[in-house]
Amino acid sequence: MQVREILRVKGATLYTVTPQQSLAFAVETMADLDVGSLVVMDGGKMAGMLTFREVLKALKGGVAAQSELKVGDVMVRDPVTADSEMEANDLRRLMIDRHCRYLPVVDDGTLMGVISFLDVAKAVLEEQSFENKMLKSYIKNWPGDAPAA
């Protein structure tokens, strides 16, 4: 299974903010949409990622209490990315190794979507369930089980 298949099932809806928007607005948006990340766009290009991890770090440092704090002050610049041709197992390994719960998918400089670790887990579970059904069907209809003619 490739990343593009996970994106196709998940959908390519992107939730975005700009670096100039307030962190408070971004947190409100994340809560309202029930998402854990926002793509930070600037001038039509991805400038970074904002996840709940960056928000929590800002809160821990007491910085988030400042009303003038902007998304650009806490976002991850140059986040780790995947491409749509990447295999799901390679994607999982990358996400684990780099400690990323959300990964933008970029092909030739174009943002295709964002995949979460939950999206990957769901896709792998569905693929394994399908393969399991196919194997059970194959075993049930095994040629050796046919009556002798």
pLDDT at residue 149, rounded to an integer: 53
Is 149 inside any structural domain? Answer: no
pLDDT at residue 144, rounded to an integer: 62
Is residue 45 scored above 80 in pLDDT?
yes
Is 147 inside any structural domain? Answer: no
Is 54 inside any structural domain? Answer: yes
3-state SS assignment for residue 4: helix
- Domain extent, residue 7, equals 3-141
Mean pLDDT of 97-124: 91
> What pLDDT band is residue 148 in, cutting at 50, 70 and 90?
low
Is residue 146 scored above 90 in pLDDT?
no
Number of domains in the chain: 1
Q: What average pLDDT does the chain have? A: 87
Angle of helix 23-33 relative to helix 52-60, nearest 10 degrees, comes to 130
Is 69 inside any structural domain? Answer: yes
Task: Find the CATH number of the domain harbouring 61.
Answer: 3.10.580.10
pTM for the full model?
Answer: 0.79
Of the chain, the percentage scoring pLDDT greater than 70 comes to: 89
Mean pLDDT of 12-22: 92
Is 148 inside any structural domain? Answer: no
Residue 55 CB neighbour total at 10 angstroms = 19
Burial bucket for residue 92 (CB in 10 Å: 0-12, 13-18, 19+): middle
Is 134 inside any structural domain? Answer: yes
Is residue 82 scored above 90 in pLDDT?
yes
Mean pLDDT of 28-41: 96
pLDDT at residue 60, rounded to an integer: 82
Is 146 inside any structural domain? Answer: no
